[in-house]
A and B are shown apart, each in its own frame.
Chain A
Amino acid sequence: MNETHHHVTLTVNGVVREATVPGRRLLSDCLRHDLGLTGTHVGCEHGVCGACTVLLDGEPVRSCLTFAVTVDGQEITTVEGLARDGALSPVQRAFTECHALQCGFCTPGFLCTVTAFLRDNPAPTEEEALEAVAGNLCRCTGYQNILKAVHRAAQMQATQIQAEEGGA
């Protein structure tokens, strides 16, 4: 079949990127194959594992359940875009400190999910943190360290904000 291709422009991690894709190209595949951003992982392709979670205009979504053409013109943040000026973000640092990853396959999805979650809820309760990561699967860690990392990241962000306000 001679498939029609569509031209899409996405702002990925602040950089304008272009690709020509068929309508059925999943956003996950567009990021990985067309744009070479392999940080976004693909586990199940039916929305269950959460490894492919990216931020679409700031909100976490499953990139495996989104067509690239649908989000033409919109902003995407992937795990590659979480660090600032070469320094890991508080969420990334907390994951390292708390041993919240082993093989790392699930990590990009958790990092994107938790980054958006803490932006909306900077001081979550145990239960809120649990609910926030319940949609992401991890085969290695047993989740306890991931939960610790969520709270650690919240602390780090609070301290960072205090320091910035104190310094200003």
Chain B
Amino acid sequence: MKPPPFDYRRPATLGEALGLLAEAGSGGKVLAGGQSLIPLLNMRLAAPARVVDVNRVPGLDGIEAGPSGVRVGALARHAAVERSPGAAAAQPLLRQALRLVAHPVIRNRGTVVGSLVHADPAAEMPAVLALLGGSVRLASRGGEREVPAAAFFTGPMESAVRPGELAVSAFFPALPARSGTAFHEVARRHGDYAVAGVAAAVTLDEDLRIAAARVACVSVGPVPVVADVTAACGPRPAASVAWDAVAAAVRDLVEPEGDIHATADYRRHLTGVLAVRALRDAASAAHGEES
């Protein structure tokens, strides 16, 4: 089908964009990569009065990587962040997760920030932001605010972005020394949204025992489910962790729902298995860091 009519605007500056969004109130929608919004419009599941296309707003496509982490601008495409050597060095989980987002062709247009605002409970990037304790910077005519991940995802396809606000960037913090990350998921077909998926981050102590271990699980709740599994994993070297117990601990933490793709029990089972795979890979990546 075709999109319903709307008032299309293509601001040339951030100020103009914020003005157009303020004026439109709850009838306004930001258009970034369009890889989620345009399908919704084509299927007539969304009918905004005004679409504010930010693709020509200068200064929003930055990818700034430094020792503290990576700040990704609203127009940085998935593909650009995936390819950025600086981003991969500062926070390897970005590239690990982006390779699982849709297909390369979708990643050429879709944006990381758009993916966060869209807040699909099956999407990878919200889980990454939640796992790392990152944040999203929101701008409106009234000023800016930085919302931490824990407060940003408010429900399935719902984020803390208010009418009149534009997400200008997101910040993905780096991890301390001797840390590693991994992302594992199971999807029906390559490139599909995950039936279940787990991002993991592990930090080792000086004796290479697990000092901190966290996971973020997708498709098993209204928002990414973040769990600290340090107690179940450490302080032991990865080789002597009771991984079955870790899997059981993760299974107990999630409350998936069943749908046409998978039953709740199968999702719970997958989440346990994927958590162990991701944690073990993250631990060996942390070892690699050390050597």
**Do A61 and B8 touch across chains, with their CB atoms under 8 A apart?**
no
Please determine whether A23 and B38 come into contact, CB atoms closer than 8 angstroms: no
A3 to B43 alpha-carbon distance, docked (Å): 20
Once the chains are docked, how many angstroms separate the CA of A132 from the CA of B102? 12
With both chains docked as a complex, state the minimum distance between the C-beta of A66 and any C-beta of chain B, in angstroms. 6
Min Cβ gap A102→B in Å is 21
Chain B 43-83, CB-CB to A under 8 Å as 1, else 0, gives 10000000101010000000000000000000000010000
A145-161 vs B: 1/0 string, CB under 8 Å?
00000000000000000
CB atoms of B53 and A29 under 8 A apart: no
Q: Find chain A residues with CB under 8 A from B4 CB.
A: 24
Chain B residues with CB below 8 A from A6, complex form: 8
- Interface pair B39/A67, CB less than 8 Å apart: no
| A46 beta carbon closer than 8 Å to chain B | yes
- CB of B105 within 8 A of CB of A135, answer yes
Find out whether the CB atom of A113 lies under 8 angstroms from the CB atom of B8: no
By secondary structure, the A interface counts as: mixed
Q: Does A162 contact B (CB under 8 A)?
A: no
Beta-carbon contact of B42 and A46 below 8 Å: yes
Residues of A within 8 A of B1 (CB): 45
| A23-B7, A47-B39, A70-B53 known; A62 vs B31 contact (CB < 8 Å) | no
Which of A46, A59, A69, A113 lies in contact with B53, CB distance below 8 A?
A: A69
* Closest chain A residue, CB of each to CB of B55: A70
How many Å lie between the Cα of A132 and that of B79 in the bound state?
14
Contacts of A56 in B (CB 8 A): 108
Taking the closest CB of chain B, its distance from the CB of A116, in whole angstroms, is 9
Chain B: interface residue total (CB-CB under 8 A): 30
- Tell me the A33-57 residues at the B interface (CB within 8 Å): 45-47, 50, 53, 56
CB-nearest residue of chain A to B39: A46
Interface centre among A29, A46, A65, A67 (most CB of B within 10 A): A65
How far in angstroms is the closest Cβ of chain B from A61? 5
Q: A26-B2, A45-B42 are in contact. Are A134 and B190 (CB under 8 A)?
A: yes
Q: Which residue of B lies closest to A66 (CB)?
A: B34
For B35, list chain A residues within 8 Å (CB).
47, 62, 65
| C-alpha gap A23/B190 in the complex (Å) | 33
Q: Are A60 and B105 in contact (CB under 8 A)?
A: yes
Is B269 interfacial (CB-CB < 8 Å)? no
A3, A6, A45, A56: residue with the most chain B Cβ atoms closer than 10 Å: A45
- Give every chain B residue within 8 A of A66 (Cβ-Cβ): 34, 38, 109
Contacts known (A24-B3, A24-B41); A53 close to B51, Cβ less than 8 A: no
* B43 contacts across to A, CB distance below 8 A: 46
Q: How far is the CA of A60 from the CA of B4 in the complex (A)?
A: 26
**B4 to chain A: closest residue by CB:** A24
Flag A1-22 by CB within 8 Å of B: 1 or 0 each. 1011010000000000000001
* B39 and A69 form a contact (CB under 8 A): no
The reply to whether the CB of A131 lies closer than 8 angstroms to some CB of chain B is yes
Max count, chain B CB within 10 A of own CB: residue among A3, A60, A62: A62
> Are B105 and A69 interface neighbours, CB within 8 A?
no
Contact of B105 among A22, A24, A61 (CB under 8 A): A61
Q: A29-B2, A46-B42 are in contact. Are A61 and B191 (CB under 8 A)?
A: no
Q: Is the CB of B5 within 8 A of A65?
A: no
CB contact under 8 A between A135 and B109, given known A23-B7, A67-B53, A70-B34: no
**A81-136: which have CB < 8 Å to B?**
113, 131-132, 134-135
Let me know if A134 and B103 touch, CB within 8 A: yes
B residues in contact (CB < 8 Å) with A: 1-8, 10, 31, 34-35, 38-39, 41-43, 51, 53, 55, 79, 102-106, 108-109, 190-191
4 A-B pairs closest in CB distance: A23-B8, A135-B103, A46-B39, A24-B3
Report which A residues bind B (CB closer than 8 A): 1, 3-4, 6, 22-24, 26, 29, 45-47, 50, 53, 56, 59-62, 64-67, 69-70, 113, 131-132, 134-135
Task: Report 6 cross-chain contacts, Cβ distance below 8 Å, ordered by A residue.
Answer: A46-B39, A66-B38, A67-B34, A70-B10, A134-B103, A135-B106
